[in-house]
Amino acid sequence: MARRKRIHPSLDMRDDVAEDIRLCEWPDCQMKADHKAPRSREQLREYRWFCLEHIRQYNSRWNYFEGMSDDEVEASLRHDTVWNRPSWPIGDRDAPTGKGPKPGTGPFGFDPNYFIDDFGLFDETTATSSQPQADAPTRAALAVFGLQLPVSANDLKSRYKELVKKHHPDANGGTKAAEEKFKEVRNAYETLRQFLVV
């Protein structure tokens, strides 16, 4: 005798399966109820069943936040933005215990000794300065301009214009000292431009 194949009840399309017919829960309505709606804010997983006409009326009157104060509405919205899960600030390693960041943590909330930093990526000097360290000619050029690191290209350019106007040989009667100072300013400017490009 051949075995009869079992069909999962949700896939069974035979006519002998009895179909439950729900009636609309609206008072004095005997229509078929195909649409569900939550019973209340506290019972979101329990439903009331309505026909199309009455589900429209029910939904138009439904207000999830009815009876809540503004602070309660705000708290509910904030809680929903994280899908009703606990959350804490990034870098707060012990947040679930409420201890907060550990003392001695680095600028981003982690212990700098926790990682092996072969390339010095988390050194204080690397994090604060985006420019490379100045060599001796660059430091001398900065002294000529009276500037200190960090220096921007705009600051360098405006200071260069000031010094050129001040030390140009034509503005100083063509003296040899003014000409030498002018050359020094030009050379320092080229050195600093190359430093900023690198």
Q: Does residue 143 sit within a domain? A: yes
Asked if residues 168 and 175 have their Cβ atoms less than 8 Å apart, the reply is no
φ/ψ of 48, rounded to 5, equals -110, 145
Q: Does residue 34 sit within a domain? A: yes
pTM here is: 0.36
Domain that holds residue 188: 136-197
Same domain? For 144 and 176 the reply is yes
Same domain? For 111 and 142 the reply is no
Q: Does residue 95 sit within a domain? A: yes
- For the domain that residue 175 is a member of, what is the CATH number? 1.10.287.110
3-state secondary structure of 94: coil
101-147: per-residue pLDDT in tens? 555 556 566 666 666 667 777 666 544 455 567 788 888 888 888 88
Q: Does residue 82 sit within a domain? A: no
Q: Does residue 66 sit within a domain? A: yes
Same domain? For 142 and 193 the reply is yes
Q: Does residue 7 sit within a domain? A: no
> What is the DSSP track for 23-47?
B--STT--SB--EEEES-SS-TTSE
Asked if residues 156 and 145 have their Cβ atoms less than 8 Å apart, the reply is yes
Work out the burial of residue 152: count CB atoms within 10 Å of its CB; fewer than 13 is exposed, 13-18 middle, 19 or more buried: exposed
Confidence of residue 18 (pLDDT cuts 50, 70, 90): very low
Q: Does residue 11 sit within a domain? A: no
Alpha-carbon distance 48 to 113, whole Å? 58
Same domain? For 60 and 29 the reply is yes
Domain total for the chain?
A: 3
